[in-house]
Structure formats: C-alpha cells, structure tokens
Amino acid sequence: MNPLDRIARVRLSSVYLPLDAPVSDAKVLTGRQRPMTEVAFLFAEITTEGGLEGLGFSYSKRAGGPGQYAHACELAPDLIGEDANDIPRLWEKLAWAGASVGRGGLAVQAIAAFDIALWDLKARRAGLPLAKLLGAHRDSVRCYNTSGGFLHAPIERVLENAAAALERGIGGIKIKVGQPDGRADLARVRAARERLGADVPLMVDANQQWDRPAAARMGRALEEFGLVWIEEPLDAHDHAGHAALATALDTPVATGEMLSSVAEHAELLRAGVDVLQPDAPRIGGITPFLRLAALAEHHRVQLAPHFAMEIHLHLAAAYGQEPWVEHFEWLEPLFEERLEIRDGRMLVPDRPGLGLTPSERASAWTAERREFR
C-alpha cells in the first residue's frame, strides 16, 4: 500500500435540511405519516495521508437521521489507517463491524456515506467525473421532475410547476396519486395529461397506498393516459403483487425505492418488475448499487434511480440501457454547484468525482459534527 493512500481523517456531520413548505404524499392523506418538513443528511468527508479528499452522504426522511449518524460514529474509527483504494473490502469490513444490526436499513445507510465518499475520492484522484471512472454509456440522462407534483399542492399549482419544469428543460413530469378517493386521482391525472399534451412523458406515484384489487382497478383506469409507468402501486415488499400487476397491465410498473438491500432487489427482479428504482444511499452506497445494476441489466430491466440526483446521475450514466434520473431541487442548497439540464436531459458534470462542494448553508444546518483520526 502506498502510505499516502492511507485514510488519515474521517469527518462526520449530521445536517438537517429544512424544506420550504410541509410536503405531503398519499401516505399523509391516508394517515400513515406526518407531512415532511425536513430531510436529515449524514455527510462523510474522508481524507488520506496524501491530502486527497472524498465527500459522501446518506439521508433519511421523517425518522432515522440520529440513528444513522450514531451508527456512522461507531464505524468511522475502523477506516483510519486503511487503504482508500480497497472500497469493496472496506464495505465488507464496515458491514461486519455492524453485523448485529443487520445488512439492510439504517445499518447499511450509515455505511453508504463512507462508501460514496471513497468512490468520490477515487474519481477525484483520477481526475474524472464518477460516471467516467465507472465507464459511462452516455454523457447525459433523461430526467423527470417529481418535486412539483406532491398532493399537498392543488392541481393548478402542480400544473404550473410542471410547465416551469418543462421550460427549464426537464424531460418528463411525475405526479403523486394514491388518495383515499380514486376518482380524485383520475381527475388529477386527466388534468395533467390534457394540459401537458400527449407527447410529454408522464408518470404517477401511489407511494404504496393501494391494495391488490385497488391497484388493478386503478391500473386499468390509468391505461388511457399513456403513462411511462405507475410507481409503487402496492406495498414495497409485495414482490408477487407488483409482478402480477406488471403482467396484467400495458403500463409499466415501477418500484424499489423503499428496499434497503441488494438481496431485496434481487428477490424483486426474480418476481418480475418493469422498472427498477434503487436508491444508492438506501442500499449501502455505490458498491452495492453497482452489483445491483449488473443484476438488473442481466434481467434487461429499465433503471430509474430514486431521489439524490447528485449521485444517481453518475450511476445512471453508467447503466447499459437508457435510464431515467429523478429531478428534485431540494438538495441544491446543500452544495455550491448546480447540475445542468438541457433538452429533457441532465448533463453529467465534467468536474472530478461527484463534482460537489458543501455550501455555507450546509454548515449552518449542521446539528452535530465529529472528527476521527
């Protein structure tokens, strides 16, 4: 090992990003969750003896932020003195260090921040954007907006948001459904399709709020709108139900964002799904995401990673089949840089690594910070 590649310092930060207004999807309208007012982030900054640096992050919505940070603080000392090049080995080391809390959920979401930071460091050292280090298939990825389509906003506001997104250059629009009254959902989708026209890619997301009979009825009723996909029509762990629905409908069925391990995704792929929506921070970082992407490509499944476009743009660019990436502007205040969007596509930045620098506002929103040497 080159002594300069030894990890000399790990800095962890617990950051709470406030949202401009409380956000509601179907889980709120059905009484299962409260409106979301903030997103908790776990940032990891890793520095080698040679002065190379990498930045990674994980996140949690509504609950789990303090737990992720606490578990990361338990794991961080195990990285000191290690070779930053050995990313898969270090993932396994951290997983075994926290084996008593499992290999999914919060346990791997804490590891994700370290893993992403190590990949960022490796790409920076090579002087390449992460997508290029991984082996890009394209320099831009189709993108669609979700943040303007939540259920707390009346349909006219949603349509205004959609028009602004398309004007900005975003290529597709996703709106939330899954309300207690399915007729309200259908009216919302009809209004969107009529306003956007037949050529704009349109997706809907039910956020797991239908049972199998309701999903079948709503899926059939939604066929006329020519949707790109129906997202999470069923409980995220109902693999058989999603597979059966995908077989029954012409409209593709998408799911996967709530799964927190490669093993869970592998089970979903075996059952059958049209569009896979993994989330790198939720499944443990880039190392497990790459394993999952290879498996998904083997199954010839379309890929549309969930949230965290700042990370997923690079991973989607390295996927063999043409993917989608999800546009949320929520994270933009955390970083100095902005991603460029043009002609319906998000452009891979030419900056090394992820191409991200924490902003001053991120420091102001930091609740806790610890450094390990």
Rounded CA separation 46/72 (Å)? 13
Beta bridge partners of 327: 145
Cα torsion through 284, 135, 342, 300, rounded to 10: -70
For 39, the enclosing helix (H) or strand (E) is strand 36-48
176 annotated active-site: yes
**CA 10 and chain centroid, separation:** 24
The total of other beta-carbon atoms located within 10 Å of residue 47's CB is 19
Rounded CA separation 313/307 (Å)? 10
Beta strands in 79-191 (DSSP E): 140-145, 172-176
Q: Which two tokens stand for residue 172?
A: 């597709």
3-state class (DSSP) for residue 371: strand
The single residue listed with the structure tokens 């303007």 is 148
For 339, the enclosing helix (H) or strand (E) is none
Residues 84, 6 contacting (CB under 8 angstroms) = yes
**CA 162 and chain centroid, separation:** 21
Q: Which two tokens stand for residue 165?
A: 């997104």
The single residue listed with the structure tokens 């990436």 is 325
Rounded CA separation 201/144 (Å)? 8
298 annotated active-site: no
The total of other beta-carbon atoms located within 10 Å of residue 20's CB is 9
> Active-site residue among 174, 239, 306, 312?
306
> Active-site residue among 122, 132, 176, 239?
176
Active site residues: 176, 306
